[in-house]
Amino acid sequence: MAATTDHEEQTDAPAPPPPPRRRGGGGFATAVSVLGELLITAGLVLGLFVAYSLWWTNVIADREADKQGDKVRDHWAEDRGPVGLDTKDGIGFLHVPAMKNGEVLVKKGTSTKLLNNGIAGYYTNPVKSALPQDEKGNFSLAAHRDGHGAKFHNIDKLRKGDAIVFETKDEWYVYKVYATLPETSKYNIKALAPVPKESGRTKAGRYITLTTCTPVYTSRYRYVVWGELDRVEKVDDERTPPAELR
């Protein structure tokens, strides 16, 4: 193919004016221009990836979380009789007024696949979390800081004394934040201990621990917030929220 073109160029050259040669000519210029276009393309793809991570995953996750949350609420509404704890569909909703993010469905486990649905999960590994219903223990949760619903995005807005309310079918568990750890190693599983010593507590009690990644947009460290149970309120017929949520 190339040989024929060369041949034609040679024979035709004298007759019509030759087509204008591109400046710089030849393979080098083409290579540079292709390289340049590839670099531009790479830049656009990275830009799209940022849009995907920070926006699109939220859209998808919020949609999924709403769906799963509705399912749990429907389940609660239908099921009037006394039922055991159903951990498959989610055990309840977390409300943190200071984070201004509405309600967050809480399910069992902290696998990426699960948390990507825009929910929070309670730890089963490496430390088995206690549940709010338990007499003593630490109810430890994780959720995304950015993307995939970003449910704990505003964790840094939590201050001592802020309310963390956990809603189950029959009870409101009202926790109060008493300590925060703005930066810790991702291997710091002591933060999840039944008695989180790092938070300053030494006696067994009913604690809640929120964990997510920090600084924002990275996963270098972990941000930890500890709370302790203030009181438990029964859910009434209208599901009137406790004072902290009104």
Chain residues in the site for other proteins (CB under 8 A): 33-34, 37-38, 45, 48-49, 52-53, 56-57, 110, 112, 115, 123, 125-126, 142-148, 152, 184-189, 191-192, 211-213, 217-220, 222, 224
**CA 39/CA 210 separation, integer angstroms:** 41
Name the residue nearer to other proteins (CB basis): 131 or 143: 143
Name the residue nearer to other proteins (CB basis): 180 or 211: 211
Residue given tokens 């919020």 in the structure block: 62
Report which of 225, 134, 233, 131 is spatially closest to residue 174, judged by C-alpha positions.
233
CB 143 → other proteins: shortest distance, Å?
Answer: 7
DSSP alpha helix (H) spans, the chain? 2-12, 26-51, 57-78, 112-115
Name the residue nearer to other proteins (CB basis): 13 or 38: 38
**Active-site residue, from 95, 148, 153, 213:** 213
Name the residue nearer to other proteins (CB basis): 39 or 77: 39
Give catalytic status of residue 7 as yes or no.
Answer: no
CB 171 → other proteins: shortest distance, Å?
Answer: 26
Integer CA distances (angstroms), 24 to 6, 29, 30, 191, in order: 19, 6, 9, 64
Following CA atoms 21, 22, 28, 32 in sequence, which dihedral angle do they give, to the nearest 10 degrees? -170
**CA 246/CA 236 separation, integer angstroms:** 15
CB 48 → other proteins: shortest distance, Å?
Answer: 6
N residues, the chain: 246
Give catalytic status of residue 95 as yes or no.
Answer: no
CB 214 → other proteins: shortest distance, Å?
Answer: 9
As to burial, measured by CB atoms within 10 angstroms (0-12 exposed, 13-18 middle, 19+ buried), residue 64 is middle
Q: Which residues does the annotation mark as catalytic?
A: 144, 213
